[in-house]
Chain A
Amino acid sequence: MHELGLALEIHRIARQAADERDGGPLEFVTVAVGDLAAVEPQLLEFAWRAVVDGTPDAGADLKVEWRPARQVCASCGEVSERAPGSWMRLCPRCEEPLAVTGGDDLDVLRVAFAGPAAAAGGAFR
């Protein structure tokens, strides 16, 4: 259950992004989670609630973008067919073993927060 530690870290990063821009409470945070990140999105969202409840960011949603790992065949390239709940072992065309690549994403992508009112305009050119 390391999702709680991750949620704390996501909140710290998001809060920092907002504070640097004189932002108010968080509205939402979008994160990318890969197949191989060893993170369960529902647990992460549950942990997120526990982290933000009781803070000014209590209304903020955590949006999870799922990033699948890629199955790559040495001869045929990327294979999009999936075995239920897992990867395929062999290429459905040439029966060669498939390599699994990518899917290790665990990134904060976007942060949305209230204000600041002046952010949209008023900048000097």
Chain B
Amino acid sequence: MTEVDVRQKVLAANAAAANGLRARFLETGTLVVNLISSPGSGKTTLLEATARALRERLRLGGLDGDIATDRDAERLRQAGIPARQILTGGACHLDARQVESALAEEGERLSGLDVLFIENVGNLICPTSYDLGEDFKVALLSVTEGDDKPFKYPAIFARAAVTLVTKADLLPHVDFDLAAVTDQVAALNPGGRLLVVSARTGEGMDAWFGLISAERSRKRNARFAACVV
């Protein structure tokens, strides 16, 4: 028997594809945001509101991962931005190669964007492990899901640069301890940001739009810096 040290990342092939995407997004100055949450927490609704608020100022686009139907991409197109559905046919997450081929097939329509939103398959667990070449992950937690979720699904809340507590307009109707969630997220992810929003009433949404605009400017400046170097 022969025994050898390998020491290779299991997801090395995904990481290589993600790094390729990241280099491309840096070249075009495209900010890429990977949205992860359980089904029904409001990813598409958030993006619809974001599209309507920012589409005049920024070139936005969306990739929507789902097991079935192209409903989400259609909703984003109705909100006035180009969007492409990625059907995983049962897989519980998007991987970098799927993003690569979806972008290749869309060609011009999704290239050179200011901001690309990747709406992952609704799942708080599996998508966390797959780098898609994004600048940062955003975790959504709707108030109807319960205030114990960050500690129950620590991987995503530890890795998401931004946590959005969504459906804040329902706070008066549910037992959701916002302070407890803030504490849990702070413990898992001391550098992370937490915003409380309602896409329905607009509460807190300006802070979200401001964050996207600021990160987009930062990405564009990084692109100029990369060109100078």
Name A residues whose Cβ lies closer than 8 Å to a Cβ of B.
1-2, 5-6, 9-10, 13-14, 17, 21, 23, 27, 31, 35-39, 86-87, 89-90, 97-100, 106-116, 119-120
Contact = CB atoms under 8 A, between A and B. Distances in A.
Contacts of B190: 97, 99
A41 to B, nearest CB: 13
A109 B10 contact: no
Given A13-B10, A13-B12, A38-B155, A106 B129 contact: yes
Interface string B85-102: 000000111010000000
B6 interface: yes
Given A5-B91, A100-B188, A106-B11, A86 B6 contact: no
B8 A110 contact: no
Contacts of A31: 10
Contacts of B151: 86-87, 89
Contacts of B6: 13-14, 17, 108-111
B196 to A, nearest CB: 19
Given A87-B151, A97-B183, A99-B190, A2 B126 contact: yes
B120 interface: no
Interface string B104-137: 0000000000000000000001101100000000
Interface residues of B, number: 34
B80 interface: no
A107 B125 CA distance: 18
Contacts, number: 100
A1 B189 CA distance: 25
A33 to B, nearest CB: 9
Interface string B188-215: 1110000000000000000000000000
A89 B3 contact: no
A120 B2 CA distance: 8
B57 interface: no
B174 interface: no
18 contacts: A5-B91, A6-B10, A13-B6, A21-B2, A23-B2, A35-B154, A36-B155, A37-B155, A86-B154, A100-B154, A100-B188, A100-B189, A106-B11, A107-B10, A108-B8, A108-B9, A109-B5, A110-B3
B138 to A, nearest CB: 17
A2 B129 contact: yes
A96 B158 CA distance: 17
Contacts of A36: 154-155, 158-159
Contact of A112 (B3, B128, B159, B188): B3
B173 interface: no
A110 B4 contact: yes
B1 A98 contact: no
A5 B129 CA distance: 12
A65 to B, nearest CB: 12
B186 interface: yes
A17 B93 CA distance: 27
Q: Which 4 residue pairs across A and B have the least CB separation, nearest first?
A: A2-B126, A112-B3, A36-B155, A38-B155
Contacts of A113: 1-2
Contacts of B7: 107-109
